[in-house]
Chain A
Amino acid sequence: MESIITEPVSQNKYVCSHCFEFCDSSIQYENNSFCCYGCKTVFFILKTNHLEDQYSKLLLLKNKKEKKSFTYLDDLNFISLYQSHVDDQTMTMDFYIDGIHCLACLYIIEKLPLFCSAVISANLNIGTNVVRIKILKNSKFSEVAQVIYQLGYNLNPLKNEDDLRQKIIQDDRKMLVKIAIAGAVSGNIMILAIATYAGANDFFSISFNLLSGLFSLPVIFYSALPFYKNVIVSLKQKTMAIDLPIVLAIVTATFVSYYALFNNSEHVYFDSITALIFFLLSTRFILHKFTQKILDKSNLININKTKIVKKIVNDVVSDVHISTIKSGDLIKISPSETIPVDGIIVSGFSEINMSTFTGETRPVILTTGDMVYASTLNLNSELIIKVMETDDQTKIGKILKEVITNSEKNTKTLKLTSQVGKWFLLAMIISSIAILLYFSLTISLNVGISRALTLLIVTCPCALGIGAPLSFYTAIKKLLSKSIIVKNENTLERILECKKIFFDKTGTLTKGNYVVRNTSDLNQLSKKELSIIYHLEKYSKHPIAYALSSFCQKQALNINDQIEIINYKENIGLGVEGYFENNFYELKKGTESGSDEIVTTVNFYQNKNLVSTFILEDELQVNTFAIIENLNRYNLRPFIISGDQKSIVNSVAKKLNIPLKNTFSNLSPEDKKEIIKNNPLSIMIGDGSNDSLALKASHVGIAVKGSVDLSLSSSDLYFTDGGLQNIFSVLIAAKETKKLIKRNLLISSFYNITAGTLAMLGIMNPLLAAIFMPVSSLSVIASNIFGTKQLRLVFKENH
């Protein structure tokens, strides 16, 4: 099974010269396109007839010319934390590997021992993208990592979280064993049962029933354990689980069958019970593995923790892994680097982008003595920082930690199944008691008991137990094909209950960065002037610089590269300046102005004379206005909550027709959470890491930005391509799934009522039960596969 999360189809689609799959044009060599470095390398091996024992020549075909420093992998402290196994002669460590695409990649990675002498074995798991590398004890992981990197794959070491991962693996194995036992036994019992139904004589039917009874024991008392555990848990919490009526049916059938066995009667239901347990267990396991696979891909990417930091000890700078940094250490932060810790600036003077904290796109100037926070971005110049807090003691770390603890949103039970289940259980019990009393009084106690018990057995809601999860599974799968990740089944239930929708501003409604507004007087600028501006701004890391340089590139179409700026100077917080052809050019930030809206202006001066003024704004995302308008159809009222200033938030609200009383500005992450808490039944859409408190507090949280694993720990939905219009796909999926479930309920009610009536009339026998129950399950499954017409329309696969 190829990677589940499909890449969005790009505009430039080429065919890989090696594996003939579609790829974007990123990897090109000698007029060939490739989808991954594995394909490229293998293509050339085959082309030049390299034989297996000349793998060393492979390294001459370097896919990445530059080397990356992996020296932190050799640090003894690091190794003791991260290695997964060690013995006398070998060391083993797991890595998350980036760039694995197909069989050719597997080929290259697993052949590592052939051209890297330190490596004993390299074992890749394509599903989880984890490679387990075993090397000789006195070799270095950094050398191996270097080789892999130059082949074209990025490596990230994985911490040895033995307990958690092992437990999950063991639990899954045990579940597989339970399913195997249930399957093997039910299959064999069915063969024996058919013999009985076909009319085997007394001796054979008795001995077959005995055998069935014997083999059913492990199924009923081992395989069905998960059901009993669920029932005990839900009874303790006084909540309803769909397993309750199912366990009732199992217990009743067990009792009836063994009683009949000892009385040499024919009314044994072993085939139905074991088949039922097998069906239920296997569908649940498939669903579980499916959701696990989605979340696995995102959970394993703890990229945030894989940071190499430059530590300064006695004026010597060395690369170390972030986990070895402690409070009091001195570290160096380069321009364009994310600050990994909370700390105080010891030396340096730079602009910091605080948007992950405050939502403001405008950088803040900080200098010696100022506090900096983890996750913010250093823009212009180098800083030396004294570490105050690391990891989960940082401000943002504390927020994220709070978010990771369990909330009641994490429970998997669907409201629908618990509600319907309650009524169902009630109906089952009442009707069986009624039948018991009626027939005991009219015919005999025995008949009363047998018909009541038969009713309990055949009206088992296996259709409900399978149907509802299966419907959500189909919906989640379809949403996944649109690059929308859904964390929990009950998200789709909850989203239909929501009445309000809160949008974060920066990065969600707006693009999050500056864009030059194209005014008429900018068309007067000559190509030479545009090129000068481009060259002045291209070295600055300030967002305004990016905006200006990309604007100039678009306007000029062809930047004159001959221009060389002399005496270039960047004035932090003010602008840039330089000389060219003896003219003094400056680009200076103007004063913020405008009564209607606050904008940022940059003035372009030649020899102190104003040439033109650039107006910069944070542009709205495409289609935002249409999206907000369409929300009316779903009865969702839009609100804006932001950390940015009131004036800017209000101008955005005006553009989108959102009433000003529905906007909130100047908020900290905690404030946002308070507002969400005061507005129950609301959807929150925002940045996964920045807004995590608010996302968690909301009824449904949607992340459109930020790393996948952090976002999914706080939100329920993650839009991989960040587009707000995905919300409509989710709403449609939720609505249609509700319709689908109602249809499933109708089908299963039909079966249950028919079966119940037959039981009441005394016509029901094990043979009919063995037919009815699987057929009802299968019809529900079939109904799910066909889905509803709308679901098919909206989610037509376009491969």
Chain B
Amino acid sequence: MNAIYFLLPLALLLSIGFLIAFIFSTMKGQFDDLDTPAKRILLDDINYNDKNKGKKQ
């Protein structure tokens, strides 16, 4: 039962850590738009090195 003296504070710290991470990401605007990022991950990233190759001359 002594394990609980260690586990309980650890569990609480963990949940506080995630809560802080959530608050931080919310205030930075991550959850403002929930629809578009879900679709955007399916698209390829733009490779900026290739960008010049495609330019019209």
Asked whether any CB of chain B lies closer than 8 Å to the CB of A337, the reply is no
Name B12's closest neighbour in chain A (CB-CB): A188
Residues of chain A with a CB closer than 8 A to B11's CB? 188
Asked whether any CB of chain B lies closer than 8 Å to the CB of A184, the reply is yes
Cβ–Cβ contact B43 & A110, under 8 A: yes
Cβ–Cβ contact A103 & B51, under 8 A: no
| A residues 110-131 in Cβ contact with B at 8 Å | 110-111, 113-115, 117, 124-128
Picked from B4, B23, B29, B51, the residue with its CB within 8 Å of the CB of A169 is: B29
Residues of chain A with a CB closer than 8 A to B32's CB? 169, 172-173
Shortest C-beta distance, A219 to chain B (Å), equals 12
Inter-chain CB contacts under 8 Å: number:
81
Name A1's closest neighbour in chain B (CB-CB): B35
Shortest C-beta distance, B3 to chain A (Å), equals 13
Surface stretch bound by B, among A50-58, A84-92, A268-276, A504-512: A50-58
Cβ–Cβ contact A125 & B54, under 8 A: no
Residues of chain A with a CB closer than 8 A to B26's CB? 173, 176-177, 180
Name B22's closest neighbour in chain A (CB-CB): A180
Given A103-B39, A103-B42, A126-B36, verify A52-B56 contact (CB < 8 Å). Answer: no
Shortest C-beta distance, A711 to chain B (Å), equals 25
Given A53-B53, A56-B54, A173-B32, verify A110-B23 contact (CB < 8 Å). Answer: no
Shortest C-beta distance, B21 to chain A (Å), equals 10
Picked from B19, B39, B40, B43, the residue with its CB within 8 Å of the CB of A181 is: B19
Asked whether any CB of chain B lies closer than 8 Å to the CB of A106, the reply is yes
Q: Give bound CA distance, A117 to B53, whole Å.
A: 11
Residues of chain B with a CB closer than 8 A to A127's CB? 33-36
Q: Give bound CA distance, A629 to B2, whole Å.
A: 79
Asked whether any CB of chain B lies closer than 8 Å to the CB of A20, the reply is no
Q: How large is the interface on B (under 10, 10 to 19, 20 to 34, 35 or more residues)?
A: 20 to 34
Q: Give bound CA distance, A184 to B46, whole Å.
A: 37
Q: Give bound CA distance, A117 to B52, whole Å.
A: 9
Q: How large is the interface on A (under 10, 10 to 19, 20 to 34, 35 or more residues)?
A: 20 to 34
Residues of chain A with a CB closer than 8 A to B22's CB? 177, 180
Asked whether any CB of chain B lies closer than 8 Å to the CB of A211, the reply is yes
Q: Give bound CA distance, A59 to B55, whole Å.
A: 12
Residues of chain B with a CB closer than 8 A to A125's CB? 33, 35-36
Picked from A106, A173, A184, the residue with its CB within 8 Å of the CB of B39 is: A106
| A residues 365-383 in Cβ contact with B at 8 Å | none
Residues of chain B with a CB closer than 8 A to A259's CB? none
Shortest C-beta distance, B55 to chain A (Å), equals 6
| A residues 35-72 in Cβ contact with B at 8 Å | 52-56, 59
Q: Give bound CA distance, A594 to B40, whole Å.
A: 65
Residues of chain B with a CB closer than 8 A to A176's CB? 26, 31
Name A3's closest neighbour in chain B (CB-CB): B35
Asked whether any CB of chain B lies closer than 8 Å to the CB of A107, the reply is yes
10 closest A-B pairs (Cβ-Cβ)?
Answer: A53-B53, A53-B50, A56-B56, A126-B36, A53-B54, A127-B35, A55-B54, A184-B19, A125-B33, A126-B35
Interface residues of B (CB under 8 A from A): 4, 8, 11-12, 15, 18-19, 22-23, 26-27, 29, 31-36, 39-40, 42-44, 46-47, 50-51, 53-56
7 interchain pairs (CB within 8 A)?
A53-B50, A106-B36, A106-B43, A114-B46, A124-B36, A176-B26, A180-B26
Known: A103-B39, A113-B46, A115-B56. 8 other contacts (CB 8 A): A56-B55, A110-B43, A111-B43, A114-B51, A115-B54, A117-B55, A204-B4, A211-B12
